[in-house]
Structure 1
Amino acid sequence: MRSRGMAAASCLTLVLALGVAACGGDDPETEGPSGSAPQAEGKTLKIYSSVPLQGASRVQSEALVNGAKLALEQVGGKVGPHTVTYESLDDSTAQAGSWTPEAESANALKASQDDTTAVYIGTLNSGAAKISIPILNEAGIPMISPANTYVGLTTNDPGSEPGEPDKYYPTGKRTYTRIVPKDTIQAAALVTLMKTEGCTKVAMTNDKEVYGAGLARVVELSAKEQGLTLTANDAIDKNASNYRSLAQKAKQAGADCFLYSGITANNAVQQFKDFASALGPDAKLYGPDGVAETGFVSEKDGGIPAGLNKQVKVTIATLSPDQYPPDGQQFFKDFTAKYGVDNPDPYAIYGYEAMKLALDAIERSGTAERDAITKALFETKDRTSVLGTYSIDENGDTTLTDYGVYAVKDGELVFDQTIKAAAN
């Protein structure tokens, strides 16, 4: 998923100036059972997460954090001989109503300066990842994102910018992984969905941020491949009072569908109102995972008017509970029992799996040193998980490709269908 960018170099300068210490000690190893690999003496390790706990993404982020807490609780805070603790950090501010570069930088620096840090779970927004990946990479801290989808964080595939992704890895070694498919998959899923539902001409806007602009570029490529006409890809001013002129331009171009590429906090609701008004009640309105949250779909929480519910669909790399393997279905039962939520936010299961993968990598590392944990993460192959079976490739990407389509009913996201879209 998502959002704002900032030059990574300034963060790196600060890290170097502070002299961030590498993790790990000189704890001696002890021999394991006969014939097994040596096991490290028990350590106290910490896992941090960094997501926006204020603003439009608050509900989504809290579900993600609760999923992570549940996973750690289920193992009693222990992995082999090691004690694992967890601290949730907030990379948003009340004033901004979303993540900020300053908050994310501070969180990454805090984790980097903590010798007990084993894994950093985050970020929710792709723009925030551009800030923290270099900082954590310098400190050798492995990172698992439960939400980032921007192409350029891991590859130089179409949709990325010059210098990506190498500029985020100053040590020359990859330390970042993610368990959601990158935007080449999401873009293909969106275009496939719009074509399937009869769209002939689509007006698109993007919020100019890392996630929104990047996804829009990949949508353009996928639309060309699949033969779907885009009437525009307009970069919006997130502070505009309305978008009526863009909506009227779309109407004059004959658009029968609208797609917004960006996050809720960047005036998504106003855009959907204005384009719905201009294109009429039969127009179909689409959004990506950047708006798949309560703050967008619930009118009482400042989201779209209830009258637009039937026109809106969004994509997100989360499926219906009954389409997950048994472990995934059990997760939803456990989450509901623990937190009393009948319809868990889609990102709850990603927070859970991010923590489960972190704990698994620590266990497989043998020594629980950062380098060994990172190596274990990148050696993840055919992992049986709540999300299904997946591997982590050499770039740090998951091999999962399915995307869920969600409709909106009574201010809530309701699973509609699965789109099996391969990257272009």
Structure 2
Amino acid sequence: MRRRLLTAGAITLAGAMALAACGSGSSGGGTGDAGKTFIISTDQPLQGASGDSSKAVNQAIQLYLDQIGSKAGSYNVKLKIYDDSTAAKGQWDDATCAKNAQDHVANADEIAVMGTLNSGCAKIIAPVLNQDPNGPMLMVSHANTNPGLTKTWDPGEPQKYFPTGTRNYARVITTDDYQGAAAAIYAKEKLGTKTVYILNDNQTYGQGVAKAFETKAKELGITVAGNEPWDAKQPTYTALFNKIKASKPDLIYIGGIYDNNGGQLIKDKVAVLGDNETVKVIAPDGFTGYPELDKLPQGQGMYLSFAGLSNEQLRAAGGAAAKLLDDYKAKYGADPATSFALYGVAAVQVILAALEKSDGTRKSVTDQVFTGAGITIPAATSAIGKEIKIDPATGDTTAIDISILVIKDNTESFVAAQPVS
């Protein structure tokens, strides 16, 4: 993975420098003249199981931009949507993420990127944007939770994502070291878990959240009978669960994304180990926001963690978040398919605040987030109903919210806010 990242970054940097040498003259947004129009892009998987979720995020962002007149101070803004998935793969794709990174840098009027959904894709795009000769170019994610993007986690992280030595990546949602730990605490304290078997999808996000869950579970005295990957290409997992059955777990923890054949995995878990009352299941937010899963008979009773506040919580709290949800429902006939939708708007709010304070260059926009006091969105106007404060030293949000949900009656319902302690 690391070699792919560096190769993609080198190609993009060379291409961008060639564009600059040819006299494009743009600083990724022009001269800062009042009334200039800038592009804010979103970069998400629009095909496969995540398509509904990504569509809802884009719709919520466009609705919000319409409501504020598509303005950031004296600047005009418009939305450009990128797809980082392929039909063949049915989810995010390494090569497509690398190509999108090049396109973001090459699009002279594009000022910042909102995304990505998947942490693995972000790890491909972020270092490319970091090497933009007119930047670094700002990237703010609504959904990336892998800790290594901003803090020490796996070897070389996070420094390898910022080859220039200047940070350009931020996020408005907390990280999997908290999400995985919170799920383990809930499993111990509320579900009475004694033995757990962990599965991960062998991707960046899934491995990271499974690692965090395992570490905390062991600390709490839960027996971890195993932690192994499942192969997304397998047509059945009955052999896997028959092997797991011998360890007599009372909980299965699934670290990964639903796109990786999660539906079949859940079906076979129930077929071999019993329903979700007999042997409980917890999955992270990579399994949230999928109508197909919510309606799956074998999915009923599954617990889910979400590294933020659910739509149900946001509406109940009132304020700007509840109004945006109501406006979304009035326009589209239903709530967003995912709680990431309002976090997408929150990420755009950070970008807009940085753009408004900037001189209209990519470098200046990024500087607003990572120098001085950074960016703060007040609770009164925040899309998630509470203050959004980005730590300029790391790019992380200072808010740590973990929600526990359960699938019941074909709906993801809020159960509890889980402290991480």
Q: 1:357 aligns with which of 350, 362, 370?
A: 350
Q: 1:12 aligns with which of 6, 9, 14?
A: 9
Alpha carbons of 1:343 and 1:17: their partners in 2 closer, same or farther (altered >3 Å)?
closer
Alpha carbons of 1:343 and 1:169: their partners in 2 closer, same or farther (altered >3 Å)?
closer
Q: 2:304 aligns with which of 303, 314, 334?
A: 314
| Counterpart residue identity of residue 212, structure 1 | G
Render the CA deviation track for 1:126-161: whole Å, top value 9, x for unaligned.
0000110011111111000010001111111xxx22
Q: Does 1:257 align with 2:251?
A: yes
| Counterpart residue identity of residue 102, structure 1 | A
> Residue 208 of structure 1 aligns with which residue?
202
Please state whether the residue corresponding to 1:231 is helix, strand or coil. Answer: strand
Please state whether the residue corresponding to 1:420 is helix, strand or coil. Answer: coil
Q: Does 1:59 align with 2:52?
A: yes
What aligned pairs does 1:372-383 form with structure 2 within 5 A after superposition?
372-378=364-370, 379-381=374-376, 383=378
Residue 307 of structure 1 deviates from its aligned partner by: 4.2
Structure 2 gap ranges (5+): 21-25
Residue 296 of structure 1 deviates from its aligned partner by: 4.8
Please state whether the residue corresponding to 1:73 is helix, strand or coil. Answer: helix
Alpha carbons of 1:412 and 1:214: their partners in 2 closer, same or farther (altered >3 Å)?
same
Residue 166 of structure 1 deviates from its aligned partner by: 0.6
CA contact (8 A) 1:258 1:283 kept: yes
* In structure 1, distance between residues paired with 2:166 and 2:216: 31
Q: 2:34 aligns with which of 41, 46, 53?
A: 41
Aligned-pair Cα RMSD in Å = 2.0
* In structure 1, distance between residues paired with 2:108 and 2:336: 38
Residue 368 of structure 1 deviates from its aligned partner by: 2.3
**So what's the TM-score if we normalise by structure 1?**
0.89
CA contact (8 A) 2:291 2:337 kept: no
**So what's the TM-score if we normalise by structure 2?**
0.89
Please state whether the residue corresponding to 1:95 is helix, strand or coil. Answer: coil
* In structure 1, distance between residues paired with 2:217 and 2:250: 15
Alpha carbons of 1:221 and 1:151: their partners in 2 closer, same or farther (altered >3 Å)?
same
Please state whether the residue corresponding to 1:19 is helix, strand or coil. Answer: helix
What aligned pairs does 1:395-410 form with structure 2 within 5 A after superposition?
395-410=394-409
Q: 2:390 aligns with which of 386, 389, 392?
A: 392
> Residue 37 of structure 1 aligns with which residue?
none
* In structure 1, distance between residues paired with 2:212 and 2:260: 20
* In structure 2, distance between residues paired with 1:382 and 1:297: 34
| Counterpart residue identity of residue 318, structure 1 | L
* In structure 1, distance between residues paired with 2:273 and 2:2: 32
Render the CA deviation track for 1:88-133: whole Å, top value 9, x for unaligned.
1111111110011111122121110112111101100000001100
Q: Does 1:128 align with 2:121?
A: yes
Q: Does 1:329 align with 2:322?
A: yes
> Residue 414 of structure 1 aligns with which residue?
413
CA contact (8 A) 2:45 2:84 kept: yes
> Residue 89 of structure 1 aligns with which residue?
82
Q: 1:288 aligns with which of 269, 284, 291?
A: 284
Alpha carbons of 1:286 and 1:296: their partners in 2 closer, same or farther (altered >3 Å)?
farther
Identical counterparts, % of pairs: 33
| Counterpart residue identity of residue 344, structure 2 | G
Alpha carbons of 1:280 and 1:53: their partners in 2 closer, same or farther (altered >3 Å)?
same
| Counterpart residue identity of residue 166, structure 1 | Q
* In structure 2, distance between residues paired with 1:43 and 1:342: 34
> Residue 267 of structure 2 aligns with which residue?
273
| Counterpart residue identity of residue 101, structure 1 | D
Render the CA deviation track for 1:300-358: whole Å, top value 9, x for unaligned.
xxxxx314402x11111232234445111111112112222146521211121112221
Structure 1 gap ranges (5+): 30-39, 300-304
* In structure 1, distance between residues paired with 2:112 and 2:29: 16
CA contact (8 A) 1:122 1:144 kept: yes
Q: 1:370 aligns with which of 362, 370, 374?
A: 362
Alpha carbons of 1:382 and 1:335: their partners in 2 closer, same or farther (altered >3 Å)?
closer
* In structure 2, distance between residues paired with 1:103 and 1:5: 16
> Residue 302 of structure 1 aligns with which residue?
none
What aligned pairs does 1:134-149 form with structure 2 within 5 A after superposition?
134-139=127-132, 140-149=136-145
* In structure 1, distance between residues paired with 2:322 and 2:122: 30
Q: 2:217 aligns with which of 223, 237, 243?
A: 223
Render the CA deviation track for 1:155-184: whole Å, top value 9, x for unaligned.
11xxx2211111111111000000110111
| Counterpart residue identity of residue 151, structure 2 | T
CA contact (8 A) 1:68 1:352 kept: yes
* In structure 2, distance between residues paired with 1:122 and 1:241: 31
Q: How many residues align?
A: 398
> Residue 23 of structure 2 aligns with which residue?
none
Residue 25 of structure 1 deviates from its aligned partner by: 6.9
Residue 249 of structure 1 deviates from its aligned partner by: 2.7
| Counterpart residue identity of residue 304, structure 2 | V
CA contact (8 A) 1:6 1:101 kept: no
